[in-house]
Amino acid sequence: MPIDDLEALTVAWTPPPGAFDASPAGRMAARHGISSARALAERAAADPAWYWAAGMADLGIPWMRPYNSVVDLSRGVEYPRFFAGGLLNWADFAVDRWVREGRGGARAVWWEGDDGATLTLTYAELKARVDAAAGAMRGFGVGVGDVVALLLPMVPEAIATVLAAAKIGAVVMPLFSGYGAQAVRARLEDSGARLLVTCDAFPRRGRPVPLKQVADDAVHDLPDLTAVLVVRRLGADVPMTPGRDHWWHEACAAAEPVEQAEPMPSDAPCLLLYTSGSTGRPKGCVHTHAGLPFKVALEARHAMGVDETSAMLWLTDMGWIMGSFVITAALTNGGTAVFFEGVPDWPEPDRLWAVAERSATTVLGVSPTVVRALMAHGPSWPDRHDLPALRAIGSTGEPWNIEPWHWCAEHVGKDRVPVVNISGGTEVGGSLLCGSVYLPVKPASFTGPPLGVRADVVDEAGRPVRGEIGELVVRSVWPGMTKGFWRDDERYLEAYWRRFPGIWHHGDLAYVDADGYWYLLGRSDDTIKVAGKRLGPAEVESLLVADDRVVEAAAIGVPDEVKGEALVCFVVLHAGEDADAAVDGLRDVVTAALGKAMAPRAIHVVDALPKTRNGKILRRVARASYIGSPPGDLTSIEDAAVLERWPRADIIQVG
């Protein structure tokens, strides 16, 4: 939306009196003699090392050997070592310690499948599954530093796989369950994975997805892979290659359980998350035992109020960072990880709200794209679910438009809980901007950087700016930031450290208003420059989705001989809307708001936008398909058939 409209926004939710004092962050602050949220934020910003140490103690994470220093920068700011000298293990502090502390009977996992099947696991039951899986992995020769690939939907075995690998010092690599064989194989080859965990098939919208077939096509003749463990999810009749393929349940039952976690150095890798780029091969982000699992758990605790009474549900896939986010945010805090295998609108448009209600979810994670899609079904679907346990709505994936934000706050949150925005990325291991459950909220905003993170907004020369659009950067290091790219240090340095030496350049456009609220306006590489003026796609898209005729929208810039770039928009309309009339009306809306110089060259009505399964609009793909240039990596797209129907520019000169 236009910057003037952002400045006109007012507070839409105010916490009740005493919210900070009652929150986990407030309770920790009180123990350190800090009496207000502002004072805590100032202390954390002035001395991040103090905050990380205090947060580690607040989480109660057990160390197998104490650390010597909070942060070691001897290798340079690009390669910090957090909690140097210490030994610990993610599986130990996420699961085992709760059993040791007498909470083995507490609810650890609540799961619902696409087909309506449900399962609940206590911490003791989850530990038994993790121990057995760890034993099975060791039985197949997996050890410290080896990569275990995970190609599963959101099922309990995915949680067991992640933590079992960590328990024996291996590195787990979650893969998107919608990948084709080529995408899976590329990541298996790049990582050198020793073992793959998959399933026979899983249901999606009531139809089976043959995942074992994808796995078979991907692993053929891979020299490093020694075994494939197959979870029996649907009982499908699948081929099992002798010597290579083994049923998960049989391997776990026959294994010697691993009851004690392997003591691991704080900076030892435990998680390898691939993120797709616009060009080149995918980037493997390396995360460590005292990195992402700690940072995410602390952030969830201090921003979203997650503790042992909480249950977190995030609509995601194990291949995206939010799958690992839920595991560590919920379990490291002693709460419940709610895993939902299905989709939000099947078999009815209230499926997500119903699952949240049945599971007594306290923190419900969505994306703006999902909310926009569910809005199209009308408010009666969320209105029938009171969600009495809900304390916060989490949001990530992309910037909000104002109208969907209000709809979500009113009809899902019932205007009684905050919408807590978080934004980071696979390489961040948490967020660089977030909201909180104890500070006032403006629509679509962030209250600022999370505690201990020194984020800033700068112009093209690296100078701090306020009241204008700039680049999001970070002037400090933080636990959770990737240790680098898998076997590719140069690419890591080029991606984040070369634009502004010594400062992390994230690649997002951001804006800080006069009241200190932060907004994200899209990726820098999605920026549209019309006649020298920089225009964020979210600004245009907010104008479009505010119109009652529009379900969702995407805006791109295309080459223009006169202006440098011209604005082109794509819209999905509500059923029954007249396309020609809508295009004319929407062009007038954008032109009136942004001026004649920004008038769209074209507005195209489409039946769907190219998106990832977790709802991110792939603007670079939309642009490439429109102008006929190479689209880059397409492995994360949910439905490639969208591109077969995509409009093409009549005349575009690229270069």
| 464-477 per-position pLDDT tens digit | 999 998 999 999 99
Mean of pLDDT values over 2-20 = 90
Confidence bin at 614 (pLDDT 50/70/90): low
Confidence bin at 278 (pLDDT 50/70/90): very low
Mean of pLDDT values over 380-409 = 94
Q: Which of 381, 376, 299, 396 is nearest to 574 (CA)?
A: 376
* Token pair listed for 481: 């930031």
* Token pair listed for 608: 């769907």
Query: Do residues 545 and 582 lie in contact, with contact meaning Cβ atoms separated by under 8 Å?
Result: no
Mean of pLDDT values over 333-359 = 98
* Token pair listed for 15: 């916490």
Confidence bin at 363 (pLDDT 50/70/90): very high
Residues of the chain within CATH 3.40.50.12780 domain(s) are: 1-526
pLDDT exceeds cutoff 50 at 654: no
Query: Do residues 277 and 574 lie in contact, with contact meaning Cβ atoms separated by under 8 Å?
Result: no
The amino acid occupying position 153 is P
Q: Which of 436, 421, 446 is nearest to 515 (CA)?
A: 446
Q: What is the helix (H) or strand (E) element at residue 174, kind and residue range? A: strand 171-174
| Residues paired with 421 in a beta bridge | 395
Confidence bin at 279 (pLDDT 50/70/90): very low
Residues of the chain within CATH 3.30.300.30 domain(s) are: 536-644
Mean of pLDDT values over 471-495 = 95
Query: Do residues 629 and 593 lie in contact, with contact meaning Cβ atoms separated by under 8 Å?
Result: no
Q: Which of 520, 564, 560 is nearest to 542 (CA)?
A: 520
Mean of pLDDT values over 271-280 = 73
290 or 469: whose pLDDT is higher?
A: 290
Helix, strand and coil in the chain, % to nearest 5: 35, 25, 45
* Confidence (pLDDT) at 572: 95
pLDDT, one tens digit per residue, over 228-260 is 999 999 999 999 999 999 999 999 999 999 999
pLDDT, one tens digit per residue, over 21-55 is 999 999 999 999 999 999 999 999 999 999 999 99
* Token pair listed for 51: 């905050």
* Confidence (pLDDT) at 651: 52
pLDDT, one tens digit per residue, over 46-93 is 999 999 999 999 999 999 999 999 999 999 999 999 999 999 999 999
* Token pair listed for 342: 């299905």
- For the chain, how long is the longest CA-to-CA vector? 71
Query: Do residues 323 and 174 lie in contact, with contact meaning Cβ atoms separated by under 8 Å?
Result: yes
pLDDT exceeds cutoff 80 at 522: no
What is the C-alpha separation between 256 and 309, in angstroms, rounded?
Answer: 33
What residues have CB less than 8 Å from 140, skipping those under 6 apart? 194, 195, 226, 227, 229, 246, 251
pLDDT exceeds cutoff 60 at 585: yes
Query: Do residues 194 and 226 lie in contact, with contact meaning Cβ atoms separated by under 8 Å?
Result: yes
3-state secondary structure of 389: coil
Mean pLDDT of the chain: 93
350-370 burial code (b ≥16 CB/10 A, e <16): bbbbbbbbebbbbbbbbbbbb
pLDDT exceeds cutoff 70 at 348: yes
Burial of 286: CB neighbours in 10 Å, binned 0-12, 13-18, 19+: buried
Q: How many degrees, rounded to 5, is the angle at CA 565 between CA 559 and CA 569?
A: 90
* Confidence (pLDDT) at 534: 67
* Token pair listed for 225: 């892979």
Burial of 70: CB neighbours in 10 Å, binned 0-12, 13-18, 19+: buried
Query: Do residues 206 and 347 lie in contact, with contact meaning Cβ atoms separated by under 8 Å?
Result: yes
Phi, psi of 604 (to 5 degrees): -110, 135
| DSSP labels, 513-536 | -TTS-EEEEEEGGG-EEETTEEE-
What residues have CB less than 8 Å from 583, skipping those under 6 apart? 603, 604, 605
Cα–chain center distance at 298: 16
Which class is 536-644 in CATH?
A: alpha beta
Which class is 1-526 in CATH?
A: alpha beta
Query: Do residues 333 and 310 lie in contact, with contact meaning Cβ atoms separated by under 8 Å?
Result: yes
Positive or negative: CA dihedral 531, 534, 536, 541 = negative
Inter-axis angle of helices 48-59 and 37-46, nearest 10: 120
Q: Which residue has the tokens 């916060």?
A: 392
| DSSP labels, 563-622 | TEEEEEEEEEEPTT--HHHHHHHHHHHHHHHH-GGG--SEEEE-S---BBTT--B-HHHH
Query: Do residues 25 and 461 lie in contact, with contact meaning Cβ atoms separated by under 8 Å?
Result: no
3-state secondary structure of 37: helix
Mean of pLDDT values over 174-194 = 93
pLDDT exceeds cutoff 90 at 420: yes
What is the C-alpha separation between 611 and 274, in angstroms, rounded?
Answer: 17
Q: Strands 602-605, 564-573: parallel, antiparallel or unpaired by DSSP? A: parallel
pTM of the model: 0.87
Query: Do residues 161 and 133 lie in contact, with contact meaning Cβ atoms separated by under 8 Å?
Result: yes
Cα–chain center distance at 224: 29
Task: Determine what percent of the chain is predicted with pLDDT higher than 90.
Answer: 82
Query: Do residues 350 and 598 lie in contact, with contact meaning Cβ atoms separated by under 8 Å?
Result: no
pLDDT exceeds cutoff 90 at 626: yes
